[in-house]
């Protein structure tokens, strides 16, 4: 009995010491991310042959942060002229809830919303348990919305599910009308990737209207096709507060079949021209549409990266976006530095196009760091 009392006293003393000891904080999202916001030493400062975004069209340099709005407007105007004009954005985008269930640590709602004049789509809204006013949110576009919430057959593409587990509200959407190779753009006459950005901007309005979402903390992320969509959405709609893209091809690259911006369902749409799709551009099968003009003018996607600055931008690179893409990202780094910002451009790498648990954790850490308070 005496031994038992002694054991209990020792246990109580240990508990007291444990409760009095300072808590050791878990690793912060930034601790995991920080190394990814520095290019490899061999690529630091390398700009390649890309046209600098910090030079005006007349050849004069951008000398200060005060010059940047005018240069940014110049870049945006050139892209918009080639991509085609948007119709007016929708003033209100209410979400109609079609069904609701509780799953894991969140409420899962099937929703319907307008994304363009006369066009309505269905998607998934995931709301974490205990959500409070001022929550951050992320739009997740893909071919269809089920994969992004973990209901698809292909693994590690459940970005929305994982972000919601981390405490962010997510809205997952798919291609309007469901055919990514032949999207029905309705009254929108812009190139398809610009149309997708227009859809994303209206989806942003739907998220921003939710009473528990902080409209200043809404991001966008996508993989592959969805990554192209996220890149254009973040560049062309500056209300997205943070942008992440998973292996879409962040520069034009006509040696990579999957970096296929020349296809008519991306930037190569031309009702008067036809080319064999699913093939690299060649003299006998040339590029068409806005893509053709962009290449002739020496334009590239690093100009879109510059449009994102100074908002945080993260590339989860794989087979299509190896570390050498830092040469393009260095231009966005230069723009951010001109504006007085560091650590706003990051990149990770993996050998495969498919996301991995590690690359997904990095995306979650990115949004947790830059969007959550």
Domain ranges in the chain?
29-251+300-371
CB 160 within 8 A of CB 138: yes
DSSP per-residue codes, 74-103 = HHHHHHHHHH-PPPPPPS--PPEEEEEEEE
Of 250, 226, 228, 243, which is closest to residue 138 (Cα–Cα)?
243
Distance CA 310, CA 306 (A): 8
The 10s digit of each residue's pLDDT in 313-341 is 999 999 999 999 999 999 999 999 999 99
Bigger pLDDT: 63 or 2?
A: 63
> Which H helix or E strand runs over 237?
none
Instruction: Report which of 345, 346, 267 is spatially closest to residue 300, judged by C-alpha positions.
Output: 267
Q: Are β-strands 242-246 and 313-316 bridged in parallel, bridged antiparallel, or unpaired?
A: parallel
CA distance 264 to 85: 17
pTM, 2 dp? 0.92
CA distance linking residue 71 with residue 53, whole number of Å: 8
* Residue 200 banded pLDDT, cuts 50, 70, 90: very high
Which whole number is the average pLDDT over 108-119? 96
Q: What pLDDT does residue 274 have?
A: 86
Encode pLDDT of 238-284 as tens digits. Answer: 999 999 999 999 999 999 999 999 999 999 999 999 899 999 999 99
DSSP string, 122-183: EEEEEEETT--TTEEEEEEE-SSHHHHTT-SSSTT--HHHHHHHTT-EEEEE--GGG-TTS-
CB 251 within 8 A of CB 329: no
Average pLDDT, integer, range 205-211 = 98
Where do the H-state alpha helices sit in the chain?
A: 2-20, 29-33, 68-83, 145-148, 159-165, 192-208, 225-236, 289-297, 302-308, 326-338, 357-371
| Six-digit token string for 291 | 């893509």
Residue 285: DSSP 8-state: B
Q: What is the mean pLDDT of the chain?
A: 92
18, exposed or middle or buried, with CB in 10 Å at 0-12, 13-18, 19+?
exposed
If you write DSSP's letter for every residue of 318-332 in order, what string do you get?
-SSS-GGGHHHHHHH
- Asked if residue 364 has pLDDT above 60, the reply is yes
CATH topology assigned to domain 29-251+300-371: Rossmann fold (3.40.50)
């Amino acid at each position: 009995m005496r031994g038992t009392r002694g054991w209990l006293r020792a246990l109580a003393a240990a508990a007291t010491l444990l409760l009095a000891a300072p808590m050791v904080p878990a690793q912060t999202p930034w601790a995991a991310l920080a190394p990814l916001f520095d290019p490899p030493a061999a690529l630091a400062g390398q700009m390649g042959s890309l046209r600098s975004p910090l030079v005006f069209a007349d050849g004069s340099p951008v000398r200060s942060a005060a010059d940047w709005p005018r240069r940014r407007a110049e870049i945006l105007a050139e892209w918009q002229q080639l991509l085609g004009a948007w119709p007016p954005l929708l003033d209100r985008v209410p979400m109609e809830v079609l069904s609701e269930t509780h799953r894991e640590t969140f409420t899962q709602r099937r929703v319907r919303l307008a994304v363009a004049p006369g066009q309505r789509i269905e998607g998934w809204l995931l709301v974490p348990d205990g959500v409070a006013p001022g929550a951050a949110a992320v739009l997740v576009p893909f071919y269809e919305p089920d994969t992004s919430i973990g209901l698809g057959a292909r693994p590690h593409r459940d970005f929305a599910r994982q972000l919601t587990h981390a405490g962010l509200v997510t809205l997952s959407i798919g291609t309007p009308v469901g055919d990514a190779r032949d999207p029905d753009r309705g009254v929108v006459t812009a190139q398809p990737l610009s149309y997708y950005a227009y859809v994303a901007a209206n989806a942003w309005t739907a998220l921003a209207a939710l009473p528990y979402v902080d409209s200043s903390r809404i991001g966008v992320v996508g993989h592959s096709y969805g990554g192209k969509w996220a890149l254009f959405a973040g560049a062309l709609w500056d209300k997205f507060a943070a942008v992440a893209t998973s292996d879409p091809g962040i520069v034009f690259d006509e040696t990579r079949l999957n970096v296929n911006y020349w296809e008519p369902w991306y930037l190569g749409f031309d009702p008067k021209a036809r080319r064999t799709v699913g093939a690299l551009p060649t003299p006998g099968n040339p590029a068409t549409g806005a893509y053709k003009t962009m290449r002739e003018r020496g334009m590239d996607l690093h100009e879109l990266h510059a449009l994102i600055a100074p908002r945080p931008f993260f590339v989860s690179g794989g087979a299509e976006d190896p570390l050498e893409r830092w040469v393009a990202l260095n231009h966005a780094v230069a723009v951010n530095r001109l504006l007085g910002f560091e650590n706003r451009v990051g990149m990770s790498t993996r050998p495969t196009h498919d996301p991995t648990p590690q690359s997904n954790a990095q995306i979650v850490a990115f949004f947790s760091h830059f969007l959550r308070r």
